Structure 1
Amino acid sequence: MVNWLSETLYPAWEQRFRVDEVLFQEKTALQDLVILKNEMFGTVMMLDGVVQLTEKDEFVYHEMLAHVPVFGHGSASRVLIIGGGDGGTLREVLRHRSVTHVTQVEIDRAVIDMALKYMPGVSAGAYDDPRARIIIADGIRYVAETEDRYDVILVDSTDPVGPAEGLFTEEFYRNCKRCLTENGILAVQGGVPFLQPEERTLVNNRMKPSFRCSTSYIISMATYVGGPMTLGWASDDPSKKTPDLAVLEQRYREAGFSTRYYSPAVHIGAFALPPYIAALENGPA
């Protein structure tokens, strides 16, 4: 009998994965973690019944979460990652030679351990990089208390339920702003607006009080179903959002690495929001 596992994110619609092999399944102290093999998508990680990443398309999310703010900033050397225990965001940030230090704050050590064991290609050695400092702690508390400052902060989180709910509050974004250097950039996971319109509005409305510019940019992933996904973007310097294309192309060339989804042109185009998504920027809280 063929076994299928359904994602439980939406009450009236689902996607399913054929389970070719269960590699790991355990309810940790914080989350229900499942790692499985699927012929089409490779290794798949699910938390609390929701797909977090697959080997097949994780590069889309991780490249765009990392490179849009880092290339947009232009001189980022210190980066903070909240969450992202699979290591994909860390991997992409560390590809930038200009980055001299990355702090990653992950609340659940089991996510890192299981990703390293069953999906080592996602982090691709990033956890061994001497520029990386890994802290197992609550990211909400970290940004409220740390005295460290960062040029870019990336919030690689699940949706605003359960352990991640506090990562979507006005207070959290205010504390992130406190941890940024002048004109630093905050980028966050922002949901699929066609199916989660309230999440896009919530993120933008709660960023606004702390930043001069808050908006979103879009990516397209096979396993984050329901249309384009948004990533939230905020800074006091709107010019860092979409620098001139020639400037981005020069930064990309000088970085000396290639990407599979991100490009300077895609960077700029990602901020061109379809009207139904743009309308959510100023929707009701």
Structure 2
Amino acid sequence: MGPSVATPVGRWWRPIVLAAVAACAACGLIYELALLTLATTVQGGGIVATSLIVAGYVAALGLGALLAKPFVDRAASSFVAVEAALGLVGGVSATLLYITFTSLGTQPSLVVLALATGAIGALVGAEVPLLMSLLQTGRRSDAEEAGRTLANLNAADYLGALLGGLLWPFLLLPTMGMQQAAAVTGLINVAAAAVLLGLVLRHFMARVRTVVSALVLLLVAGLLGTLLVAVDGVTEWSRSRLYPDPVVAHTQSAYQEIVVTSAVYKGRTDRRLYLDGTLQYSSLDEYRYTESLVQPVVANRPEEVLVLGGGDGLAARDLLKVPGVQRVVQVELDPAVLDIARTRLVEDNEGALTDPRVDVIVDDAFTWLRRGGDGEVPDGGFGAVLVDLPDPRNAALARLYSQEFYALIDRVVSDDGLMVVQSGSPYSTPHQYWRTVSTVGSAGWSTTPYHTYVPTFGDWGFVLAGKSKSEPELRLRPDVEGLRYLRSGVLAAATEFGGDVSPMALDPSTLDRPRILDDSRRGYER
């Protein structure tokens, strides 16, 4: 280290090092969670993608530890360099990935995701060997003492990772969004390194190296600060390239990115809702989808209806117009979707979610059903259940397309009640569609598959299910008025499938074997 280096004496500096370890470990995990979240948002995620990202990150940790070996003799300055690089790469990674996806598409963004994951993992992996060397400075340690030092280091590292894992979903993501949260985390990373440099590391370094290290950290902090100021503008620019129409509302909830766009074409307003970049409806033709979802399932004159999902309020809107429907219980996971529906989408859903006949429950549908409906299930069960959930693009959604989920629904439906499930496109995602049909049937329901044409989506499919042994009849109630699309003849034709979308007998999707995840992924690739 040179004769000008004055190594600190005593034990006061080691707790500071361990605290910095915890802070940096928290930052490292947050970077990776940000990339995982963004990958799910812009690319659909999935078990395979998630597994590869996590495995790649863990492998990069080991590579980083090996690459740090030549630098352990100058651990202090090397650690500062690692943290500066980690703060910069981690802080800009989410923004870079988002820009790449919106500008260049999925494949280039996968390259950026792989490179960012590898770089972050390698830099995080280099921390432990450097800090281990630093903590052993000035000690003549035996094996027992080295073991204690490593135990303290690992404990600080893992506890920091736990802190990062808690901060990301409960604080950073919902309050800041992915890109801003990653930039803020980068600043925290640099700040932790700066504090450590000022209190401890400068005692292990020559004056010139200390000054250079401080300037490098200052430069990185300046770059991240600039990004933090500009990130909203960058995001708006990138988002405008992703969505064809102007964005009029945007929010990042704890579960998903929610975007509403609006444009006027030939005097008609086209308002669109997107969840995690996937279109949910267009106000120009959503009535075709909504009528096809709602009308067949209410053919048996239900008084009380359960809606699982459907947070946009469109299904509730049409249900309230059905004669005889007295109460609608709506179970929606994301309160941010409900907020958007009650404000930006109120013109489309006609204020259905504020109607006194609609009981809105903010909860996970699977969990709510497992609890038996928390006393909301009427005596004898619901006369109709509408399952209007997003496509199973990730593991959390796939369990809502499982055999176990449809068996839980069976418990809350009356003997003559019906269930309808939006099931994806028989043309674009054929395996997903027919897997859903098979899965519903495997849970003890009799099924009638049907499909309709929605211009925005193309060919779209549903499954009508009943508890009797005979297949439920697809029919309209004679007292329903004001339908814009459905007619008896349309429904009669809806059960016919052409040769290119013909039925397939597939194994059911279960909690243990979520086969529908791969079906959904293949459909999106197609």
- What is the TM-score normalised by the length of structure 2? 0.47
Matched AA of 2:410: K
In structure 1, the residue matched to 2:244 is: 18
Which structure 2 residues correspond to residues 167-182 of structure 1 after superposition, within 5 A? 167-182=400-415
Q: What is the deviation of 1:116?
A: 2.2
Q: What is the deviation of 1:34?
A: 1.0
Give distance in 1, aligned partners of 2:244 and 2:359. 36
In structure 2, the residue matched to 1:270 is: 494
In structure 2, the residue matched to 1:3 is: none
Give the secondary structure class of the aligned counterpart of 2:454.
coil
Choose from 17, 31, 43 the match for 2:256: 31
* Segment drifting more, 172-181 vs 197-206: 197-206
- Is the 2:465–2:471 Cα contact (8 Å) retained in structure 1? no
- Residue 144 in 1 paired to residue 377 in 2? no
Q: Please list every run of 5 or more consecutive structure 2 residues that lacks an aligned counterpart in the other structure.
A: 1-41, 45-104, 108-241, 509-526
In structure 1, the residue matched to 2:393 is: 161
Q: Please list every run of 5 or more consecutive structure 1 residues that lacks an aligned counterpart in the other structure.
A: 1-6
- Residue 94 in 1 paired to residue 320 in 2? yes
Give distance in 2, aligned partners of 1:216 and 1:96. 23
In structure 2, the residue matched to 1:232 is: 463
> Residues 200-251 of structure 1: CA distance to partner in whole angstroms, max 9, x if unpaired?
12211211122341231111112214xx1101221123364235xxxx4xx3
Give distance in 1, aligned partners of 2:106 and 2:484. 33
- Alpha carbons of structure 1 residues 211 and 223: separation in structure 2 relative to 1, 3 Å: same
- Structure ranking higher in helix proportion: 2
- Residue 109 in 1 paired to residue 335 in 2? yes
Q: What is the deviation of 1:8?
A: 6.0
In structure 1, the residue matched to 2:447 is: 214
Give distance in 2, aligned partners of 1:202 and 1:77. 31
- Is the 1:8–1:50 Cα contact (8 Å) retained in structure 2? no
- Residue 283 in 1 paired to residue 509 in 2? no
Matched AA of 1:24: A
Aligned length in residues: 262
- Alpha carbons of structure 1 residues 37 and 278: separation in structure 2 relative to 1, 3 Å: same
Give the secondary structure class of the aligned counterpart of 2:284.
coil
Give distance in 2, aligned partners of 1:119 and 1:93. 17
Matched AA of 1:233: L
- Is the 1:69–1:241 Cα contact (8 Å) retained in structure 2? no
- Alpha carbons of structure 1 residues 8 and 46: separation in structure 2 relative to 1, 3 Å: farther
Give the secondary structure class of the aligned counterpart of 1:30.
coil
In structure 1, the residue matched to 2:184 is: none
- Residue 57 in 1 paired to residue 285 in 2? yes
- Alpha carbons of structure 1 residues 236 and 266: separation in structure 2 relative to 1, 3 Å: same
Q: What is the deviation of 1:17?
A: 4.9
- Is the 1:155–1:187 Cα contact (8 Å) retained in structure 2? yes
- Alpha carbons of structure 1 residues 34 and 173: separation in structure 2 relative to 1, 3 Å: same
- Alpha carbons of structure 1 residues 38 and 90: separation in structure 2 relative to 1, 3 Å: same
- Alpha carbons of structure 1 residues 78 and 278: separation in structure 2 relative to 1, 3 Å: farther
Matched AA of 1:258: G
Q: What is the deviation of 1:190?
A: 0.6
Of structures 1 and 2, the larger Rg is shown by: 2
In structure 1, the residue matched to 2:512 is: none
Give the secondary structure class of the aligned counterpart of 1:229.
strand
Give distance in 2, aligned partners of 1:197 and 1:107. 27
Matched AA of 2:292: M
> Residues 242-271 of structure 1: CA distance to partner in whole angstroms, max 9, x if unpaired?
35xxxx4xx32x23x211111222222212
Give the secondary structure class of the aligned counterpart of 1:186.
strand
State percent identity of aligned pairs.
25
Matched AA of 2:272: V
- Is the 1:156–1:188 Cα contact (8 Å) retained in structure 2? yes
- Is the 2:303–2:327 Cα contact (8 Å) retained in structure 1? yes
- Is the 2:305–2:325 Cα contact (8 Å) retained in structure 1? yes
Give distance in 1, aligned partners of 2:500 and 2:467. 25
In structure 2, the residue matched to 1:195 is: 428
Which structure 2 residues correspond to residues 246-265 of structure 1 after superposition, within 5 A? 248=476, 251-252=477-478, 254-255=479-480, 257-265=481-489
Give distance in 2, aligned partners of 1:242 and 1:24. 38
Choose from 37, 42, 45 the match for 2:273: 45
- What is the TM-score normalised by the length of structure 1? 0.84
Give distance in 2, aligned partners of 1:205 and 1:266. 24
Give distance in 1, aligned partners of 2:311 and 2:284. 18
Give distance in 2, aligned partners of 1:99 and 1:216. 24
Q: What is the deviation of 1:134?
A: 0.5
